Amino acid sequence: MRFNIRQVCRIDDNSCATANYTMVANALGFRDTIQDLLKVTHGTLGQSQFWLEMLKRGVKIKCISKNDYRTFPAEASKWVADFFAERSDGTENYVEVLKNPNFDFKNRAPTIEDLRQLFDSGYAVEIMGDGWLMYGDAPEAQLLHRVFITDMNKNTIYFHDPDIDGEADFPAKASDIATALSVDGAEIVGYKR
């Protein structure tokens, strides 16, 4: 495994994203626990708060996202905006994140090629896409879900799922990940020290 780190699972209904961020931080060599990062994310989705924390630590972040954080959530589809609104404590931090020279943002649909390029360049990578499709299942409803990529080869992408019943080093088909990344709200984020 490229990133041989321990799977971290959420500890309550609001900490799924923070569990994923904990795996990112651990892959970068930081010794954060989920409890440490819950203080940063305030027990919410906390994406912009986590990004600011990583940028303060000198981490370079590359984000390829369908979500245009320059105008977010005004330009987002209703269900994506609702998803973030229910799980976040505001979007004002995105302005500060976008100004940071260590934050590289591309507003477009992410692809498997983007994922491979970041991973092959040594980035710790998380993706957000449809959680059902990542597992090759038919979606029961629209669901954005983050997972941490542990390894990959031509046909298989391995990930740790931060959900309580999520898999560790799950071997997903690359085609399923590509489909999961095709939904509104999908993104790939790479982190490098």
Q: Identify the band that residue 43 occupies on the pLDDT scale cut at 50, 70 and 90.
A: confident
Indicate the range of 24-38, 78-92, 157-171 predicted with least confidence. 78-92
| C-alpha closest to that of 162 among 173, 142, 148 | 148
pLDDT on residue 140: 85
- Statement: residue 22 has pLDDT above 70: yes
Tokens 């979500």 correspond to: 67
Q: 167 near 183, Cβ under 8 Å?
A: no
Q: What is the pTM of this model?
A: 0.92
Q: Write out pLDDT tens, residues 85-125.
A: 555 555 567 888 999 999 999 999 999 999 999 999 999 99
At 141, the pLDDT band (50, 70, 90 cuts) reads confident
**What is the Rg, in whole angstroms, of the alpha carbon atoms belonging to the chain?**
15
Question: How do the residues of the chain divide into helix, strand and coil, expressed in percent and rounded to 5?
Answer: 35, 20, 45
Fold for the domain defined by 16-192:
Cathepsin B; Chain A (3.90.70)
Confirm if 15 and 38 have CB atoms less than 8 A apart: yes
Packing angle, helices 34-41 and 47-56, rounded to 10: 110
pLDDT single digits (tens) 173-185: 999 999 999 998 8
- What are 158's strand-pairing partners? 151, 171
Interatomic CA distance for residues 20 and 37, integer angstroms:
10
Domain boundaries, the chain: 16-192
